[in-house]
Every structure is written in C-alpha cells, then in structure tokens.
Amino acid sequence: MKLLVTGGAGYIGSVCTARLLAAGHEVVVLDDLSTGHADAVPEDCRFVQGDVGEAGVLLAEGFDGVLHFAAKSLVGESVQDPSKYWHGNVVTSVRLLDAMRDAGVPRLVFSSTAATYGEPDQVPIRETVPTRPTNPYGATKLAIDQAITSYAEAYGLAATSLRYFNVAGAYGRFGERHTTETHLIPLVLQVATGQREQIQIYGDDWPTEDGTCIRDYIHVLDLAEAHLLALETAVAGRHRIYNLGNGTGFSVRQVVDTCREVTGHPIPAVVAPRRAGDPAVLVASSELAQSELGWKPQRADLADIVRDAWGFTQSQFS
Ligand code: UFG
C-alpha cells in the first residue's frame, strides 16, 4: 500500500514507519518537526516537512491509507494551554479527514489514547467503559475519535482507532527522545546515564499495594504490529476502536526496580507529591484487539521493554 504517516518524525510514528517499510509498504512521512526530529525519519521513505492540516495537496497524489500519529500529547501542557490542543489536535485532524474524503483515501489508523477513559471504575479497561477524560489532551483525542466515527458512517471511511496505554521500548535506532520528557521509563534511564541525579516518584500514598501508581507498559514494536493488522483488516464504513496494552500492571516502584536490574545502576529515587490528573491504576483489556485483529503482544516482559529502551538510550549518549 501507499501510505501517508503523519508524525513520522516522532517516537511511535518513526517506529511504525520503519515497520511499515520492512513489511514492503511505500511510505510518505508528513511532519512539521514541532516536536519530532528529521533524523528520526527512516531513510527509505519520502519526508515532507509541513502542516498536517494542509495534507490535501499531498493526498491528491493518491494514497491507500493514512496513519495519523501527529499530535500534541503533553497532559500538563494541555491543561495550561488548551487552545494549542483543540487547534493542534482537533482542528488539524478534521482538516485531515476532509482532505482524505476529498482525495478518496479509503483507510485511516488513528493514535488514540487511554486518556480518553479518564479515571475508570473498572480495571482492566475494556472499550465499553464510559469515556470521561480528565484533561484537555484526552478530551481532544476523544473528540477526534467521535469525528472519525461520523466520517466512517457518512463517507465510508475504513477507520481504526488504537487506544495506547503506556508505550515504551525501542526498535533499533528508533526510540523515545522528547525534548520535554515527562514519561517514567526514559526519565529513569536518564538517571542511569547520569543526565539526571534522581527520579521523583509522584506519590506513594495511592490505593495500590506499594502506594505508587500502576500502569500497563506496552512495547512499541507490539504496538506497531497492531497498526499493520489494523490496515490489513480495515472495513469500509466502520470505525473500530481497540485498547492496546499487555493487560498487566506495574507500579512506579516496580518500574524503577526493573530499570535498576537492567542498567546495574542504583537509580536514587525520592518520593514527591502526586502529579495532578494521574489516575491510580490504568490497565488495559486488549481482548478485543486480540480476537478481532488477531493481535498478540510478543514482548510483554517489562525487563525486555526496559532493555530495548536502555539500548536506545545508551546509543544516544555513547
Ligand atoms: N511518574 C513518576 N515520576 C516521573 C514520571 C512519571 O512517578 O518522573 C509516574 C506517573 O505519576 C505515573 C507513571 O509514572 O503514575 C507513568 O507516568 P508517564 O508520564 O510515563 O505516563 P502516563 O501514565 O502519565 O501517561 C500515559 C501516556 C499519556 C496518556 C496517559 C493516559 O503517556 O499520553 O498515559 O492516562 F495520556
């Protein structure tokens, strides 16, 4: 297939682009480099630097599908500056959907998020639980999901939204390097490389066994496989939504311990106040993705995920 990847200079977008190329697809990456890195775009594809909201000219060339990764994705920033999120995520995505419709592009895979659920009543989280986002980031991703549903029904788009839980790990030279890093595993690994003195644990008084928050960490390559399957199984006129996680939760302390084992570094940790907006426990049920997409995570072991992230981190600082 000839595919347009928005946000292909970012972490997940670059990994998925590399996997799509390895699977024999032709890929064009569109990214404005507002948070991505030009050198993260795989060599074997065309790279266009530009605004995703202006994708129409590119799409008129003729494409079999779009994978839409480009987004503003910092929860805290979305609370401080929601305009950036409603414009950058929702307005841009609706313009992309219009451009796809006008150019007759049949398939879409969209990067949705566990943040659309907010603080869930039930764990593991199924796709049927109520969507009650607790911050503008989650609200904008949910709004895009709702737009996609109506576009699929009205215009026959074959769409799939993948609701990512905590994505981690790396694929060779493609890994996580945000200019503003907020994610736990890369921050902990920065301590192991000496770029940071210690890791702050945001609260140890949560209602969990060791008092720290529990998350479901999924290897970025397992995530990439789900995108390939979503493209292959797309159904015209349907918008399918799948959660993607391993179904097992790890506490912040367990993550730090695993990073200590993998890196051999003592990784000093201090307890800090809770971070606003954090739910105590987020664990996915990915049963629907497994039964309908035939997806099965192959790298569910947390130590394997951390090991791949560590290999990438070391390669950046050697
Ligand atoms: N944490 C710390 N110290 C840190 C960084 C994080 O204790 O320095 C904790 C957080 O409080 C949280 C856990 O580690 O309990 C994981 O935090 P991340 O920032 O790595 O990930 P989140 O669970 O906050 O975010 C992920 C995605 C978001 C998405 C969210 C859904 O990265 O895009 O899940 O709730 F919005």
Q: Over the stretch 185-211, which tens digit does the pLDDT of each residue have? A: 999 999 999 999 999 999 999 999 999
Q: What is the pLDDT of residue 277?
A: 82
Instruction: Using the structure block, give the residue that is written with the tokens 């990847």.
Output: 5
Question: Residue 243: CB within 6 Å of ligand 1?
Answer: no
Mutation pick for ligand 1 pocket among 113, 215, 283 (CB with most ligand atoms within 8 Å):
215
Residue type, 238: R
Question: Residue 252: CB within 6 Å of ligand 1?
Answer: yes
Q: What is the pLDDT of residue 179?
A: 86
Quick one: which of 96, 95, 70 has its CA closest to 5? 70
User: Percentage of the chain surpassing pLDDT 90?
Assistant: 96
Helix (H) or strand (E) holding 164: strand 158-164
> What pTM was estimated for this model as a whole?
0.97
Q: What is the pLDDT of residue 180?
A: 85
Whether ipTM exceeds 0.90 = yes
Q: Which amino acid residue places its CA nearest to atom 21 of ligand 1? A: 183
CA of 278 to the centre of ligand 1 (A): 7
Number of Cβ atoms within 10 Å of the Cβ of 182: 13
CA of 237 to the centre of ligand 1 (A): 34
Helix (H) or strand (E) holding 162: strand 158-164
CA of 188 to the centre of ligand 1 (A): 12
Active site (annotated) includes residue 242: no
Residue 317 pLDDT level (bands cut at 50, 70, 90):
confident
Q: Using one digit for the tens of pLDDT, what is the confidence trace for 233-277?
A: 999 999 999 999 999 999 999 999 999 999 999 999 999 999 988
